[in-house]
Amino acid sequence: MVQRRANMRRIPESTIRRLPAYLRVLENQKETRTTSVALGERTGYSSEQVRKDLAYFGAFGTRGVGYDVSQLGHQIRHILGLDKNVKAVLVGAGHLGTALLRYTQSGVSDVQFAAVLDNSPQVVGSAIGSMVVEDIQHLESIVTERKIRLAVLTVPAEAAEKVAERLAEAGIGAILNFAPSPILTDQDRVLVQNLDLTLELQAMAYFVTEHDDLESPVS
Amino acid sequence: MVQRRANMRRIPESTIRRLPAYLRVLENQKETRTTSVALGERTGYSSEQVRKDLAYFGAFGTRGVGYDVSQLGHQIRHILGLDKNVKAVLVGAGHLGTALLRYTQSGVSDVQFAAVLDNSPQVVGSAIGSMVVEDIQHLESIVTERKIRLAVLTVPAEAAEKVAERLAEAGIGAILNFAPSPILTDQDRVLVQNLDLTLELQAMAYFVTEHDDLESPVS
DNA sequence: GGCTGTGAACCGCTTCACAGCT
DNA sequence: AGCTGTGAAGCGGTTCACAGCC
């Protein structure tokens, strides 16, 4: 979960996290108009949910008609800040980092990675798609000079906290941490989202096992 | 978010999703005893949250003292079903799949991958760590014969829905889908968790951008 | 005194139901 | 008639505050 800083809007975090899903549907849409029902079906949310989410930011639709696909797309991109060319740095050029980089390179309009860093001499200097891996030593200057606001961490668990500290010090705005170890410090300076894929997998195990024995105690 | 089937327990999903985090802390713990405060600090949750989560399953702690590390570890592993050797199949042996596989192979006690599938002839037959990639053609027989209950999807967007359908048909219990396209069908037969890394990244963009112009309309 | 276990209050998000525009 | 926008109700989860045991 995202830990929030002091002055956030009164817009539910869950709403923000659904917006990219709506956006993707809109971008894959051929028709020029759509409705909350259609958007709901394609994203897995209810139509009321879709309407409420969009209405937080104003009245984008037309009653009796629906939403204009390209217009709504632009609105959402603006809300998310994707029209401002948000720059990100990827720290850790392993398999996971490479996968993420490839995803964002293939997509049309997205968060743009402005740097890929690693600490291994074997990896530094090599290319991943169109990006050349740079030395993590230069993290601070790269973040500052290229005005990078977003960091994605795909480093080993032991390195995560230290790298996060350096990123925070360099003035980054938010960190998406995939390392199998949560980042707990500096949450007043930086927005941190910990996303541990192995923990997700363990949680899934619960839902495929029988639980006859561990009934919740009747209170 | 996980969409739940009919007969789930009255235990919050969010509780389940925190248990693996507690477990990891316990496994990295040297002391033989711990407290809800310590567990909270190391996971980023409040101590009340920790206590409430654990209490759903019984009284594991001792008042005035705390929790026994190894005992609580066993309890959580039992609750999650990790003591039953949950078997998973990885579909899609790209970078993301490889990264996930490596994580789970390095970890001590985890969900075990019993098969890795791909459709590319170049990849089928090659090894990832100790696993040999098998042909996705044999998906159904592999799932059935090896009694696999969990699937992790790291395939391209276009393939996701179709593979999910085959997995559901083969009687899998749950699917963790990383493809950049949500799985929407069959949610009564199979538990589906869609986890789209690029959408996560886009959502983060919102939190690093200024929003002077799009104030929530005063109601 | 210290730390767990838990009802109760609180809070935020989702769903409902309908008013309002086209 | 159709579909959006929205107050109100409902619901699930978190936080509070304290009773209970060591």
CATH value at residue A103: 3.40.50.720
CA of A146 to C1' of D8 (A): 48
Boundary-marking domain end, from A79, A101, A127 = A79
* In chain B, residues 28-87 whose CB comes closer than 8 Å to chain A: 41-44, 56-58, 78-82, 84, 86
Q: Identify the pLDDT of residue A187.
A: 79
Token pair listed for B119: 């459709």
Confidence of residue A8 (pLDDT cuts 50, 70, 90): very low
Angle at B64 between CA B61 and CA B66, to 5 degrees: 35
Q: Which nucleotides along chain C are within 7 A of a protein C-beta?
A: 1-7, 12-17, 19-22
Are residues B141 and B40 part of one domain? no
Give the pLDDT confidence of B58-111 residue by residue, as tens digits.
999 999 999 999 999 999 999 999 999 899 999 999 999 999 999 888 765 579
Are residues A173 and A100 part of one domain? yes
- Residue B216 located in a structural domain: no
Adjacent-strand bridge partners of A74: none
Q: Identify the pLDDT of residue B106.
A: 77
Q: Identify the pLDDT of residue A106.
A: 77
CA of B59 to C1' of C3 (A): 13
Chain B residue at shortest CA distance from A82: B205
Q: Identify the pLDDT of residue B194.
A: 96
Confidence of residue B40 (pLDDT cuts 50, 70, 90): very high
Q: Looking at residues A59-83, what average pLDDT do you find?
A: 96
CA of B35 to C1' of C2 (A): 11
Q: Identify the pLDDT of residue B185.
A: 82
User: What is the bridge-based pairing of β-strands A33-34 and A67-68?
Assistant: antiparallel
Mean pLDDT across chain B: 91
Domain count, chain B: 2
State which residue has its Cα closest to the C1' atom of C7.
A219
> Phi-psi category of A83—alpha, beta or left, where left has phi over 0 and alpha has psi -120 to 50?
alpha
Q: Determine if strand C comes within 7 Å of the CB of A43.
A: no
Boundary-marking domain end, from B57, B79, B101 = B79
**A176 in contact with B at a CB cutoff of 8 Å?**
yes
Burial class of residue A187 in the structure, from the number of CB atoms within 10 Å of its CB (0-12 exposed, 13-18 middle, 19+ buried): middle
* Residues of chain A contacting residue B76, judged by C-beta atoms under 8 Å apart: none
Helix (H, G, I), strand (E, B) or coil at B174: strand
**A173 in contact with B at a CB cutoff of 8 Å?**
yes
Are residues A123 and A69 part of one domain? no
pLDDT for B131 beyond 60: yes
CA dihedral B46, B51, B53, B59 (to 10 degrees): 170
Give the pLDDT confidence of A30-52 residue by residue, as tens digits.
999 999 999 999 999 999 999 99
Are residues B91 and B32 part of one domain? no
**B182 in contact with A at a CB cutoff of 8 Å?**
yes
* CATH number of the domain within which B22 lies: 1.10.10.10
Nucleotide nearest to B33 (CA to C1'): C3
> Phi-psi category of B162—alpha, beta or left, where left has phi over 0 and alpha has psi -120 to 50?
alpha
Boundary-marking domain end, from B40, B56, B79 = B79
Domain that holds residue B66: 13-79
Percentage of the residues of chain B whose pLDDT score is greater than 90: 83
State which residue has its Cα closest to the C1' atom of C15.
A48
pLDDT for B203 beyond 90: yes
Looking at the partner chain, which of A149, A196, A202 has a beta carbon nearest the beta carbon of B82? A202
CA of A207 to C1' of C11 (A): 28
Q: Determine if strand C comes within 7 Å of the CB of A48.
A: yes
Are residues A75 and A39 part of one domain? yes
* Largest CA-CA distance found in chain A, in angstroms, rounded: 61
* Residues of chain A contacting residue B150, judged by C-beta atoms under 8 Å apart: 201, 204-205, 208
Of residues A55 and B85, more confidently modeled: A55
Confidence of residue A109 (pLDDT cuts 50, 70, 90): low
CA of B63 to C1' of C4 (A): 4
Confidence of residue A141 (pLDDT cuts 50, 70, 90): very high
Are residues B91 and B18 part of one domain? no
* Residues of chain A contacting residue B44, judged by C-beta atoms under 8 Å apart: 3, 182, 184, 194
When mean pLDDT is compared across A65-79, A162-176, B27-41, B94-108, the lowest value belongs to: B94-108
**B149 in contact with A at a CB cutoff of 8 Å?**
yes
Task: Indicate yes or no: CB of B152 within 8 angstroms of CB of A58.
Answer: no
| A174: amino acid identity, one letter | A
Q: Looking at residues A63-91, what average pLDDT do you find?
A: 96
